[in-house]
Amino acid sequence: MSLKRSKPIIGIVGTIGAGKSAVAGLLAEFGAGVIDSDAAAHEVLQEEDVRGTLVQWWGPRVCPDGRAVDRSVVASIVFADPEQLRRLEGLLYPRIAERRDAQVARFEQNAAIRAIVLDAPKLIEAGLDNQCDAIVLVDADRNRRLQRLAASRGWTEADLLARERRQISVDEKRAKADEVIINDADVCALRPVVRAAFERILGAFHRGRPDQVHS
């Protein structure tokens, strides 16, 4: 980014079920300010004008009680129809971007924050990697990822495959990554790995070494 900043922006990407949220949580523990795009999307989805638009598009089933959008209904619609997914993204993304930019500005002004982390499901696809000083890829063994997803979300392998098809490949993500974190164990094993990667990114940013960190 051309804007002069005092702290790096770190983008987190990864395979589904690898534990991006766990890594983001540890980065927060180490002093980073984390911007969770999933959480922002859930908040934006409940805004009155967004609810109204979704009801116009897809009928009252998306807002059965007239107050809250049923995310499971929305998910069933957009995962079955790529055109509807693009439509939804076109509605939500500008609003999410406004929130993200405001949060970046707040974190930049907060002296206690050492770095800013963008945790977004489609960070590279949305071009947000161009706003980052470093990209961290979180990966894990496929069987372990499937076990986690079955336990946390009730997913089958078919569910995982369907969602993987809507993302760029792990090889494409790896090609963009400055740090690769393998999360095949528990959080105790993960913590020192994340801390070391974080300190390397901070060191490279403050030394201004473009060979190690995106400019």
Every domain of the chain and the residues it spans: 1-31+114-215, 39-102
d(CA 202, CA 196): 10
CATH architecture of 1-31+114-215: 3-Layer(aba) Sandwich (3.40)
Q: 86 burial class (0-12, 13-18, 19+ CB within 10 angstroms)? A: exposed
The set of residues, in sequence order, having a beta carbon less than 8 Å from that of 187 and lying 6+ positions away, is: 22, 26
pLDDT tens, 68-125?
999 999 999 998 898 999 999 999 999 999 999 999 999 999 999 999 999 988 899 9
**Strand runs labelled E in the chain:** 9-14, 32-36, 115-119, 134-139, 179-182
pLDDT tens, 139-163?
999 999 999 999 999 999 999 998 8
Q: Are strands 115-119 and 134-139 parallel, antiparallel or unpaired?
A: unpaired
